[in-house]
């Protein structure tokens, strides 16, 4: 059975306010700050990027890490890097159910695909 993990997909896939599940952080199964969740929620993109890049205990190919990294890149205007992060998460051999910040449960590949579609739609609308 696949385990559920919570990540902060704050601005990318679904609109949200605060995490639906009250916790110290939205990073279930990860060390606090490893996915840059709280920094993403607070709009602190530079801090989120620093946390994601420094998360030594999270595999660089972890879909949750890649999706949040893509979110940070998209917010910073690094659309090419964001697209690559989302595509890598979609194509990963690993996938699992994620609990988004609004409580929605979604497969990591679907979450990455939706984030990429949203990025493409934003880019096309310019």
Distance CA 7, CA 28 (A): 8
Please check whether residue 104 is in contact with residue 10, taking contact to mean a CB–CB distance below 8 angstroms: no
Specify the pLDDT at position 19.
Answer: 30
The residue that leads in pLDDT, 33 or 16, is 33
CATH of domain 4-124: 1.25.40
Task: Tally helices (H) and strands (E) across the chain.
Answer: 5, 3
Please check whether residue 113 is in contact with residue 7, taking contact to mean a CB–CB distance below 8 angstroms: no
Q: Where do the domains of the chain lie?
A: 4-124
Q: What is the pLDDT of residues 28-86, one digit of tens each?
A: 888 999 999 999 999 999 999 999 999 999 999 999 999 999 999 999 999 999 999 99
Specify the pLDDT at position 24.
Answer: 53
Please check whether residue 40 is in contact with residue 8, taking contact to mean a CB–CB distance below 8 angstroms: yes
Please check whether residue 8 is in contact with residue 26, taking contact to mean a CB–CB distance below 8 angstroms: yes
Specify the pLDDT at position 99.
Answer: 85
DSSP state of 105: E
Mean predicted confidence (pLDDT) in 94-114: 91
In the predicted structure, residue 18 carries a pLDDT above the cut 90: no
């Amino acid at each position: 059975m696949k385990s559920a993990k919570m990540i902060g997909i704050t601005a990318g896939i679904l609109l949200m306010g605060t995490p639906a599940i009250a916790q110290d952080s939205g990073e279930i199964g990860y060390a606090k700050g490893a996915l840059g969740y709280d920094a993403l929620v607070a709009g602190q993109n530079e801090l989120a990027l620093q946390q994601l890049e420094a998360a030594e205990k999270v595999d660089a190919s972890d879909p949750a890490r890649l999706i949040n990294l893509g979110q940070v890149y998209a917010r910073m205007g690094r659309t090419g890097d964001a697209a690559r992060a989302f595509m890598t998460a979609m194509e990963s051999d690993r996938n699992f159910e994620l609990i988004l910040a609004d409580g929605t449960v979604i497969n990591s590949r679907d979450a990455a695909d939706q984030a990429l579609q949203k990025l493409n739609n934003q880019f096309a609308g310019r």
